[in-house]
Structure 1
Amino acid sequence: MAVTDWEAFVTQTDQRMGEVRKGIPEVAKGFGALAKAATAPGALVAKTKELIALAIGITARCDGCLAYHARAAARLGASRDEILEVIGVSVYMGGGPSMIYGAEALAAYDGLGDDG
């Protein structure tokens, strides 16, 4: 999918995820706790963890992952050059499909970052 309005995509996805959270509250609560624990600063800082998550989103070809992790990385101070390097590693690990989704990740960062 080629998202052109990342803000609208996030708004729509938030609404859809809200319905899922209402339908399976205990699963949603567990997922939220997992996300909080996994992204908490430790040996790796939170920004690095978000860049890793973005790389996984690229290789998994997950539009929602691109949106949420590009935005989180931007909020944590990731630069556009860092995003481009993440895309490079993702292409190395995931081939052509990662090149396509890398372009989507850059668009998400540009559309959801401080400058977007």
Structure 2
Amino acid sequence: MSSFDHQTLTRDINHALRPFRQSQSAAMQGFAQLAQASMAEGAISAKNKELIALAIGVTQRCSGCIGFHTKALQKLGATRQELEEMLGIAVYMGGGPALMYAAETLDAWDKLNPPTQSA
């Protein structure tokens, strides 16, 4: 299980990237536009796009991705059941390493999620 909390991790990542956002503003603006366009509601819902993004984060073993996309899913009203079904697919596709990050994701969900939404 992870030895950090994802709320602090995502805050630290944002803080660490602040100078990079300034020195590489055009590239970072382009990345932000790409993210915004990619995650916008369309034929695939924004919630399903976040589930896909989190699945990729799990299979690519990215703790920062887990923090950011778990929080986004909670804001979009995802349920724990949706999260767990997605994690099942991620583990199927990513094997044992994805299972370890699935555990991290479930921990992040519980720690980031208000108690009234965890069902």
TM-score with structure 2 setting the length: 0.91
Stretches of structure 2 that go unaligned for 5 or more consecutive residues are none
* Alpha-carbon distance between aligned partners in 1 of 2:106 and 2:75, rounded to the nearest angstrom: 15
The alignment of Structure 1 onto Structure 2 pairs a total of residues equal to 116
User: C-alpha separation between the residues in 2 aligned to 1:110 and 1:4?
Assistant: 13
Compute the RMSD of aligned alpha carbons. Answer: 1.5
Contact 2:6 2:64 in 1 (8 A): no
Question: What's the counterpart of residue 91 of structure 1?
Answer: 91
* Higher deviation after alignment, 33-42 or 103-112: 103-112
Query: CA offset at residue 100 of structure 1?
Result: 0.2
**Residue 39 (structure 1) aligns with:** 39
- 1:3–1:72 CA distance, 2 compared to 1 (3 A): farther
SS of the aligned residue for 2:103 comes to helix
TM-score normalised to the size of structure 1?
Answer: 0.93
Displacement over 6 Å in runs of 4+: none
Equivalent residue number for residue 73 of structure 2: 73
Q: Identity over the aligned pairs, expressed in percent? A: 43
For residue 48 of structure 1, what is the aligned residue in structure 2?
48
1:30 aligns with 2:22: no
Cα-to-partner distance string for 1:29-84 (whole Å, 9 max, x where unaligned) = 00000000000000011001000000000000001100000000011001111111
Q: What is the aligned partner in structure 1 of residue 101 from structure 2?
A: 101
